[in-house]
Amino acid sequence: MTTRRSATQPLPRSLDPLHDESLVGYVLRLAYRTGSTPAEITVRTGLRRTELSGLSLRPLHDLDPGQLHTFCTATSLTPTEARSLLLSDVASRYGPLDPSLAKGRTAQALIAGNAWASFRNTRYCAECLSGSGTEIEQLLGGAWRKLWRIPAVFSCRLHQRLLSTRCSGCGQPAQVSKPGHAILHLTVEGLHPLQCRNNIAPKGTRTSTPCGARYNLPDLPSGHPPDAQTLDAVLRLQDRIETLLTTAPGDAAATFGWRTPIGIYFFDLWALSSLIFLTWPECRPLTATPTLAEIMDEEVDQRRQNPPPHRGHGQRSRTRVYTIPPESSLASAAVLGIAERLLGAPDEETAYEALKGVIERSNRAGSRLGYRFRNTRQASVPFRATLRHDQRPWAAHQLPSRADLILKHPGMTRVTPPTADGSTTRQLA
């Protein structure tokens, strides 16, 4: 039972952020707990300037100092607690969210045009949303985790299951939003934080109403429930990825045997995933299980037959068929598993031999796209140097080696030191 509060009453310190909670989830829980609407909460906490303005997607990523002060004053949260609700909280470890690695992209482009972070919908675990049985979670449900908006998060390690993507009631992606409308039906009062706010239009009417189905109900039937071997491989991959997302910012990952900042490693992961989609089925033998290979076959066929709608014109819009992450959690695990395995090559020469077919096929499939994916500006030096490909006959003899190209950049060190004969090369596992 909720109790309506007046607009002048302070918001109660009754909601501390749950583990890894998103800003949207916190606002929905606070509105329901206080008997108000998300519209009122977002104005009083400084997320919207006036009742007439929309709620942009930008506060999901970060708050400016003024917004942060207003938000903390209204909610009685500390700045650290407030920042924990934002996607920028993991930006130092997940490069696609880090403005310092955007290399010329505006803050708006970082949010609206960022295929590697999802601001317009989210994945979710229905069991997590059901809560842990505490009094507050029995009333409001569990946390909408902010990491669910990162496409590299595709499973729940706690409940040993894949994340869902769509509402079981309306069939639309979960928590759909659009520019200026980060939360749909802002002015509707009484919707539970676990109820779907996606628009549905009753037959014979032009008005839209919220779906209202609960996200903690059973999922829509899946065409490919994972077998035990596949689920085990997916969960182990997720464990390694989430370790990177939650580790200290100063730690490093490894790209082709070279130490790479964790944030940049994720650029390598996504650039290589784009190459895998472009050149499929070149990497089919590297899938962890037969089920994941079949999932990749279906995903690539779907992309080629029904490419995603272009946003804009020119070469950049045509790359979306290869660069956007899969909607399916299982397809995300499949392509990222291959990319991670390749990036785990012990050195640049082993990696080049493993990727030679991908490089050659990318030139045949679309030389401009292949070149662009291999030379992604945000990717690491080892990534770009290893995937260097010069077709001129004399190039192999006169150009610097891949190791020399990498070592020209300051601070580059190997994860695995060379052996006594100066070699680190071994077969890719």
Query: How many alpha carbons lie under 13 Å from residue 154 in its C-beta half-sphere?
Result: 25
Q: Domains in the chain: how many in total?
A: 2
Distance CA 326, CA 80 (A): 33
How far is 38 from 43, CA to CA, in rounded Å?
9
pTM for the structure as a whole? 0.89
- Same domain for 172 and 247? no
**What are the residue ranges of helices labelled H in 62-106?**
65-75, 79-83
Task: Confirm whether 427 is domain-assigned.
Answer: no
DSSP state for residue 88 in the 8-state scheme: G
- The separation between the first and the last C-alpha atoms of the chain, rounded to the nearest angstrom, is 57
Q: Confirm whether 12 is domain-assigned.
A: no
The parent domain of residue 232 ranges over: 228-407
- Residue 427, pLDDT score: 47
pLDDT value at residue 366: 64
Domain for residue 394, yes or no? yes
Let me know whether 233 and 113 are in one domain.
no
- Contacts of residue 86, Cβ cutoff 8 Å, sequence gap at least 6: 23, 59, 60, 61, 62, 63, 146
Residue 425 domain flag: no
Evaluate whether residue 8 is within a structural domain. Answer: no
Query: Is residue 203 assigned to a domain?
Result: yes
Per-residue pLDDT at 2: 47
Same domain for 38 and 145? yes
Residue 298 lies in a domain: yes
Using alpha carbons only, give the angle 86, 89, 95 rounded to the nearest 5 degrees. Answer: 115
Strand blocks (E) in 160-206: 161-162, 199-200
Tens digit of each residue's pLDDT, the chain (429 residues): 444 545 456 565 557 788 899 999 999 999 999 999 999 999 999 998 777 678 888 899 999 999 999 999 999 999 999 999 999 999 999 999 998 887 656 666 677 777 888 888 999 999 999 988 888 898 999 999 999 999 999 999 999 999 999 999 999 999 998 878 899 999 999 999 999 999 987 766 667 889 999 999 876 555 567 899 999 999 999 999 999 998 876 788 999 999 999 999 999 999 999 999 999 999 999 999 999 999 999 999 999 888 766 554 444 456 788 989 999 999 999 999 999 999 999 999 999 999 999 998 988 866 678 888 888 888 999 999 999 876 655 555 567 888 989 999 998 999 876 554 444 444 454
* pLDDT on residue 314: 45
* 357 in Cβ contact with 282 (< 8 Å): yes
Q: How far is CA 162 from the centre of its chain?
A: 15
Please name which of 269, 242, 234, 239 lies closest in space to residue 254, comparing C-alpha atoms.
269
> Is the separation of the CB atoms in 30 and 18 below 8 Å?
no
Same domain, 258 and 152: no
Same domain, 290 and 346: yes
**Do 34 and 163 share a domain, yes or no?**
yes
Rounded Cα–Cα distance for residues 141 and 128 (Å): 8
